[in-house]
Amino acid sequence: MKGFVTDLVSTIIPVYNRASMLREAVASVIAQTYRPIEIIVVDDGSTDDTVRACDELAKKSPVEIKVIHQQNTGPGLAREAGRLLARGEFIQYLDSDDLLLPGKFQAQVSGLRSDPGCGVSYGRTRYRHRDGAVEPLPWKGSGARVETMFPSFLQSRWWDTPTPLYRDEVCQKAGPWTDLRLEEDWEYDCRIAAQGIRLHYCNEFVSEVRDHDQSRLCGGPLDSVRLKERARAHSLIFSHARSAGMDESFVEMQHFARELFLLSRQCGAAGLSMESRDLFGMAKSASGEIRARGFDFRVYEFLSGLFDWRFVGKISCYADKFRT
């Protein structure tokens, strides 16, 4: 395990074709009231002037900013490239379209220092619409005080990438980011959740996520490629939850079981029979013995054996839309 530089906060920013927003993201880190810091920008195969913008930023602040240029690998592996270079005692992941508020590091490092038993500090995140209007309430679940990431992370990743500040040792124990291109951040955080680490809550706004009209990996239709990525992510998340002792007695696991069943039907409709079958099995396991013998599970399994996963998936998705 690599060592770290005490007190240093390392910010890792993957970027792909977002020059102007990258400059704003980097500026928000430079504006932190806390020092020492380092910024690692990972240009993930950009094809526009983002390449030049990265080099200009590094030239302007060579002590604090480092740049990696690499072929496109997706956000997870881009973050991993930055993490391997990071030297900080604390790790901040920041997407190139988001911002940190000036007092973030000061507040969260202080919080982690005050409670050595906590592995991650999080605070309130605000949401800015395209027209510049800001939601007055904290975004997602970032305004609620929660002791641990599981079981609530089975319902959703209730913070965004800029919200938490991690101890480096927590990231080291979690291991490398995967090559997932969808839900890679949720899967990563569930690996951290499986460590059972306690959370420090910072009761102030620390970051901002912004809506915009530039491309996002998380947007787009649920085609077979995207569904396959989601299936892989959900499978990994389920295994992390199981390793942490999450079973059907948790309401959150029941929620996740329903999500697995829905994703199974969607994968079947898209022709991903193997993924559909595997997710269906996970959904039954997550539901528990009694629920797994329910009418809907028994009928779906019977029809899948009688016909095939694709046909039953299509019929079920059509029925879901009709019910909606």
Which H or E run includes 254? helix 251-269
Q: Name the β-bridge partners of 294.
A: none
Spatial CB neighbours of 204, under 8 Å, sequence gap ≥ 6: 103, 107, 123, 124
Report the share of the chain in percent with pLDDT over 90: 93
* β strands within 194-320, DSSP E: 198-210
Dihedral class, residue 74 (left if φ above 0, else alpha if ψ from -120 to 50, else beta): left
The three-state secondary structure class of 64 is: coil
* Euclidean distance between CA atoms 241 and 191, whole angstroms: 8
* Euclidean distance between CA atoms 283 and 48, whole angstroms: 43
Q: In one letter, which amino acid is 319?
A: A
Per-residue pLDDT of the chain in tens (324 residues, 90 and over written 9):
678 999 999 999 999 999 999 999 999 999 999 999 999 999 999 999 999 999 999 999 999 999 999 999 999 999 999 999 999 999 999 999 999 999 999 999 999 999 999 999 999 999 999 999 999 999 999 999 999 999 999 999 999 999 999 999 999 999 999 999 999 999 999 999 999 999 999 999 999 999 987 765 555 566 999 999 999 999 999 999 999 999 999 999 999 999 999 999 999 999 999 999 999 999 999 999 999 999 999 999 999 999 999 999 999 988 877 765
Tokens 């906060």 sit on residue: 9
pLDDT digits (tens, 9 = 90+) for 79-129: 999 999 999 999 999 999 999 999 999 999 999 999 999 999 999 999 999
Q: Closest Cα partner for 8 from 43, 32, 37, 44?
A: 37
